[in-house]
Structure 1
Amino acid sequence: MGENDGGRLSRRTFLGVVAAAGAGATACGASAAEEATRAGAAGTPASGPLLLPSQSPSPDPAASPPPTRYERLRPGDPAWRARSYGPAEAIEGYCDQVSVLPGHPVELRVSTTADRYRVTAYRMGWYGGAEARRVWRSEWLPGRRQGRGDIDGATRTVHANWRRSLMVPTAGWPEGAYLLRLDSAKGHQRYVPLIVRSTDATGRTLLVHAAATWQAYNQWGGYSLYYGKDGSYGARSLAVSFDRPYDKNGAEKFLVYERGLVVLAERLGVPLAYTTGLDLTPEVMKGAAAVVFLGHDEYWTPQARRQVTRARDAGSNIAFLGANTCYRRIRIENRGRLIVCYKDQYASDPMYGRRPAEVTADFRSAPAPDPESSLTGVYYDGFPADAPYVVTAPHHWLFEGTGVRRDDAFPHLVGVEYDRVTPSVPTPRPIEIIAHSPLMCGNRPSFADSAYYTTPSGAGVFATGTMRWVEALRAGYPGGPQLHGMDARTRKFVTRTTANLLRAFARGPAGEHRAAPRDNVHAFYA
């Protein structure tokens, strides 16, 4: 891509790629099934300290601060990390609820080939760099092997249909993101994610966990919204159930695309609230200082989109820290346990011809097109991509303290999916492109854009335009996994930029205390 040893694109190369680029289409000729492979290819990042300015002194506990303002200062437990997964069926489990309110118990269903197992609950956060604190542990319990589930032939939906193994109490657990670690007596381990959600985010930054997207890619039982048992896209599920474990380590999407942001946000000490995309009610969003969507949040209900738009128009700042956000329209059925998404087979959706706005096609597609760009400011352009992230507005407030200059580049930060500003589709204006990164999507030249706009309510809206942003918060640690080749320089840049974002957005409508966007779309797109 013309990167020189200094991490900068030459001006000639940059302008040459700009001149060659077109508006482009999505997917770059790749199938939707291949997209799943790309999105699931990232490994689980390693741990390590985040390089940030020193933190302020501990708040007075007598002042009853929100949980996340004192939780970050408590001692953690680095032993939360699973050491040995073993065979796929060694131990695995799932909860009967995606999220619970504090103090509400959750039912856990476990299958294991061992004669005994136990469960340990960890709250994820800063904790002095340990990144988790143990809040509860069960006794050793008798293990049993449960079945491989049943398949609904009409939609090819897998249901595990396991018996209840135990009830997990959450009394005294602060709101937050949790991992329940299952340990078998044979030494094998798996995770089960659980969000203890907030009822009120007034004055706080609301972190939204992408539970629907976790489940869409879940291949447990041989089926997901991308693949069927035979590995083909045509045999995929048309609806997927939460009544089954997650595949692989049990929490891959959370660990790759969300954990790094949780750790950073808690370390910064900004007041936080927690929920999932399935729980975005007017009550929880009312008065939120900011609403933050993490590294991969593709599947949204139209109801969630309306709530987020209303929150933005009421003054809540919105951040999209991934790409391909709000791309698929879904429907939730069976008391919140079933995600329906027919995608390009939308004519087979029972809502087709009855309720067009509820048909589970892509948001931009018929029968009720409503491109995501009207909210996010950017438009999903395709995959696969792997390119440097190129800064074009180095003096923007988001980049304060990073030391970047125009055309500075950060290798591999753009990928594997990306978004761009596309003037031909609904796009809020004025909007400022602060990073404009030339790339090749397959054989097609295009760009990824980071963009920022504000609304009359004062709300600021920022989109990174790349799916690797949250992953980059963990990149480049010595001895850690290679995260697409991203290095420590990239980690420091993304960490500081994200810290600037979170601190500014926590202060309330960014349009009231940060410089307004300067519309520069014409400089990049005729």
Structure 2
Amino acid sequence: MVQRRALAAAVAILALAASCESASPDPTSPQPTSSPAAAAPGTPGWQITHPGPEHSIEGFADRISVKPDEPVRLFVSTTAHNFTVTAFRMGNYTGSDAVQIWKSDPHNGRVQPNFTVQKPTSTVIAPWDPALTVDTTGWAAGDYLFRLDGDNGSQQFVPLTVRTPSNEGRIVIVNAVTTWQAYNRWGGYSLYDSPSGKKALRSRAVSFDRPYQADTMQGAGDFLYFELPMVLFAERSGHQIGYATDADLDADPHLLDGASAVITLAHDEYWSANMRNNLVKARDRGVNLAFLGGNEGYRHMRFDSTTLGPNRLEIDYKSFNEDPLSKTNPALATQEWRSPPNPHPESALLGNYYKCNPVDADLVAADTTNWLLQGILSDGQHLPRMVGNEYNQVDLAVPTPRPIQVLFHSPLTCNGNPGYADVSYYTTPRGAAVFAAGTEYWICGLDPRCERANTAGDTTRNAITAITARLLDAYAAGPAGTAHPAIDNLAKLNIPGATSTASPYQPDALVPN
């Protein structure tokens, strides 16, 4: 959905600037109320400095995530005679954003067979032999990058999530691997593109049995520029953090048992029915939710297995009639969540509703009586260029939880059409709070190396940092809606269809699966 190539190239270069391992905090900026834990020494130089020519080294893992102590196999193809693998855990470390956990001995390199394209879905598979098995015994839960280093000087990453065995009392960060894979063009096909450039010939199913592309992803999916800044911020908050992926959220109905909160990151667009239902169930138990991107939960996909294991095939026809399941199991057909004949708009869970891209606009504070903004911003204050590339809006023409409070109500024009981008906040009878940023640039405001936020100035970065810190502090303490109920302000903001009396809260129903 988003115009990713230019965005990814620009932001990834900034995020990987080897000259800036970590930024010192601004002593004038609002600080979180929690005290970050003392950070262990990090490992400088984890970044890729020489990716090398295309296909000079690349790889993938046979597991999207593992529990600590579980093995993972790496599949590597390279033109180098020998290569090594170094595992880095990304997080709160002194002097670096990563620490080296493990490094392999040199392994013989080989060029693996060319990819195959499975018809009729145009699914790219790398039919490779495993190069080595990595033992994760003793590894802490977290987000990891394997760096492949060839003796020809070439480098690429392979991502791995080591998921938390129990998320009791934790703020759970969910890596949006389904969206990473949807946009992955390795082998020429993604859920958007084909080698010919004809979108009609795109993949209808994409496989995790292949590397992530090298040009904008550096083999790491979307992790480096859409997710790493929030991972670092969360770890530095001092709260107990849990780690999981979209695939785990689909596979494990008990993943969120006892969790205090769940956070999805800057672009979590592709959801299965299980993913959505498990978030709904968690919210309805009082688990807080935060959606820190735009265009989240928009695409309806489903998982299937490959020869390497379950949940490694991501299916999305983007059309009810084209999907074969429309005739045999229509509830699982993969049109957009909002589309007929079984519409379940994302707004019923998020609170706001995806509208348009591309857009570049200011966030405009609309209700600074809310506990998240109070004392940080004043009504009408602008945070320059923090709305984009995609945005969401509260729209009462579609299912929307009430009471709901709009914190930022930002005028814009997208593709010639006027509208508003809305940062929304609603609460439930069980005390859960649901925050939806409605813009992909929220996390940019947490990243000292994001040029857009740097250009906007210290006020913007300080405000987004302080608001996010307050959110984490309240979310870590349990159902935040009990202490901080939403105060409906849609009528005050003249949002179409709003009346001075908000309709009673109506929970989002589970979807068939």
Q: TM-score, normalised by structure 1?
A: 0.87
1:247 deviates by 0.5
1:39 deviates by 6.2
Q: CA RMSD in A?
A: 1.9
Q: 1:412 to 1:190 in 2, by over 3 A?
A: same
Indicate if the aligned counterparts of 1:73 and 1:128 stay in contact, CA closer than 8 A. yes
Q: Which residue number corresponds to residue 186 of structure 1?
A: 152
Q: Which residue number corresponds to residue 464 of structure 2?
A: 494
Q: 1:412 to 1:482 in 2, by over 3 A?
A: closer
Indicate if the aligned counterparts of 1:389 and 1:413 stay in contact, CA closer than 8 A. yes
Q: Which residue number corresponds to residue 166 of structure 1?
A: 132
Residue 521 of structure 1 aligns to a residue in which SS? coil
1:122 deviates by 0.6
1:524 aligns with 2:499: no
Matches for 1:223-372 after TM superposition, within 5 Å: 223-248=189-214, 249-280=218-249, 281-334=252-305, 335-343=310-318, 345-372=319-346
Residue 445 of structure 1 aligns to a residue in which SS? strand
Q: Which residue number corresponds to residue 26 of structure 1?
A: none
Highest relative contact order (Cα 8 Å, sep 6+), 1 or 2? Answer: 1
Indicate if the aligned counterparts of 2:32 and 2:473 stay in contact, CA closer than 8 A. no
Residue 213 of structure 1 aligns to a residue in which SS? helix
Residue 69 of structure 2 aligns to a residue in which SS? coil
* In 2: Cα distance, 1:388 partner to 1:333 partner: 41
1:395 deviates by 3.0
Indicate if the aligned counterparts of 2:350 and 2:434 stay in contact, CA closer than 8 A. yes
* In 1: Cα distance, 2:255 partner to 2:165 partner: 5
Number of equivalenced pairs: 476
Indicate if the aligned counterparts of 1:399 and 1:500 stay in contact, CA closer than 8 A. no
* In 1: Cα distance, 2:32 partner to 2:275 partner: 37
1:407 deviates by 1.0
Q: Which residue number corresponds to residue 478 of structure 2?
A: 508
* In 1: Cα distance, 2:192 partner to 2:382 partner: 33
Indicate if the aligned counterparts of 1:289 and 1:317 stay in contact, CA closer than 8 A. yes
Indicate if the aligned counterparts of 2:35 and 2:238 stay in contact, CA closer than 8 A. no
Q: Which residue number corresponds to residue 396 of structure 2?
A: 423
Q: 1:486 to 1:88 in 2, by over 3 A?
A: farther
Residue 358 of structure 2 aligns to a residue in which SS? strand
**Structure 1 spans left out of the alignment, 5+ residues:** 1-31, 59-68
Residue 347 of structure 1 aligns to a residue in which SS? coil
1:134 deviates by 0.7
- Return the structure number with greater helix share: 1
* In 1: Cα distance, 2:279 partner to 2:35 partner: 34
* In 2: Cα distance, 1:147 partner to 1:55 partner: 54
1:179-198 Cα distance to aligned partner (Å, 9 max, x none):
11111112221111100012
Indicate if the aligned counterparts of 1:226 and 1:236 stay in contact, CA closer than 8 A. yes
Q: Which residue number corresponds to residue 13 of structure 1?
A: none
Residue 199 of structure 2 aligns to a residue in which SS? coil
Given candidates 11, 17, 24, the residue that maps to 1:43 is 11
1:497 deviates by 1.1
Q: Which residue number corresponds to residue 18 of structure 2?
A: none
Q: 1:144 to 1:422 in 2, by over 3 A?
A: same
Indicate if the aligned counterparts of 1:400 and 1:500 stay in contact, CA closer than 8 A. no
* In 1: Cα distance, 2:153 partner to 2:187 partner: 23
**Structure 2 spans left out of the alignment, 5+ residues:** 16-20, 497-513
Select between 350-359 and 165-174 the one with higher mean Cα deviation.
350-359
How much identity, in percent, do the aligned residues show?
43
* In 1: Cα distance, 2:399 partner to 2:454 partner: 32
1:292-345 Cα distance to aligned partner (Å, 9 max, x none):
1111100010111011001000000000000111111111001211000000x3
Indicate if the aligned counterparts of 1:108 and 1:164 stay in contact, CA closer than 8 A. yes
* In 2: Cα distance, 1:221 partner to 1:488 partner: 42
Q: 1:295 to 1:376 in 2, by over 3 A?
A: same
